[in-house]
Every structure is written in structure tokens, then in C-alpha cells.
Structure 1
């Protein structure tokens, strides 16, 4: 029972941190001081809120790819860099809460219902293709650094 409860605690703490990071990005880009900075490009993904969602998803993919390759590379050497609870807290908790497929789907659905199909498709494409590309790029970069 101790392992299960530690897993739940790890995900809960990590999830809280990831959710706060996600909210922070939204405040910074959609409502806060960085809104003016992205004004010129945010319309491509439906506005500032869509930009914050896209940034959170892409950042999460980049971090997850880096973490994946780092832990795999060290495991190949017989090393365990982080405890299983810490990995669970980061992968499922922090990065799971930071990235948000449901928000992405909601944003693209609203854009489509408003007749902004091009912005909707751009947002979907950037998140999916960009996310996969950043995951692979991060993994390759970490692999290169560690070899």
C-alpha cells in the first residue's frame, strides 16, 4: 500500500506544480505582461490563449523528450538518475498538467465554430507536428550530449 500511496502523492504534488505552471503561462501571455510581445503572431493559433496552450504543449513535449532520453541513456549505463516516484511526479504530474490535450481540443473546436477554420487547423498542426518534432529534437540533443 505504501508504494501506491507514494505514487498518488507524487502525481498530486507534480500535478499541482504543472497546473500552476500552465496557469502562469496563460496569465503571462493571454492576460499579462507578455501579451503585447506575441500580439503579432498569436492570431495564427487563435489568439493569446491559444498561444499559451500551444506554448505549454510544445514546452511539455520538449521537456518530456529530454527527460525520456536522459533517463534512457543513464539506464543503459546501469544508473538510475531519479527515483520512480520522482519520475512519476515529473512525467505524469508536472508535464501531464502542464500540457493539455483537452484545452487544445476545446480551443480548436471554439475556433472552428467561430468560422476560424484556418486558425483552428494551424493550431492543431503546430501542436501535433511541432510537439512530435520537439520531442524527437530534444531526445536527439540529449543523446548527443551524453554520448
Structure 2
């Protein structure tokens, strides 16, 4: 995740105007939900398809969430990055690391999860749809 944080400090690519100006590191970003779904969720969800790595049934990837409106202390346009792992066959997932970047590109926080504890997949939730894309390549529209 350090490479992603460094890339954020150096490169500022922007999302379409309706997502507000927000930095994205270089990557092959796939927007997962239609705009009406994003409005309902309160965030846009993107997966860097170039970051997906496969080892057996496990896939790791980088996910970016762009806040569509203010959430607590985080203003609209804040980016939340996650490096996640998912066991597609076993139905388990976990967040390995995360970072939060303000709309102006300033790092707000980051952390790692050294625990091997994972959560059960809920395929019918928004996060389950993201994991379905990573595991099966099915875009949730």
C-alpha cells in the first residue's frame, strides 16, 4: 500500500466531474456500479483490474471508494483505498491494508491489518457484488 500512497502524492489523475476532483494512482480502474446505484450507496466503487493477483482460489486486489457526499469528518471526494484478499471458493474475505486520501491529495490516514481473521462473503450486498466482480468478472449494474 506504500507504493499506492507514494503514487498518490506524485500523480493526480481525476475521475469524471460528477465524482468531484479526486486523485487516483495509475492503474486500470473499473467503475463497478451505475451512477444511480452510486448515489444510493453514497460512494463510487472502482477496482484496479491491473492489481488483481490470483493464487489458487485467493485473489488480491486494490479497491477505491470515492465518497459522493460528506461522511462524518470526510468531505465529498475523499478516496478510501483498500488492499483486499478474497477466497472465492471458500467464501471468505479480509482487508489487508487501507489508506484515506482527501480530495486535495493529502493523506489522512492509513493502516495494515496483520490479523488473519476474515469475514464471510455476503454475495447480495454491495461489497459482495464487488467481490463477485473480482472472483467472477461479473459487473454489477
Q: TM-score, normalised by structure 2?
A: 0.29
Q: TM-score, normalised by structure 1?
A: 0.28
Which one has a larger percent strand, Structure 1 or Structure 2?
Answer: 2
Which one has a larger percent helix, Structure 1 or Structure 2?
Answer: 1
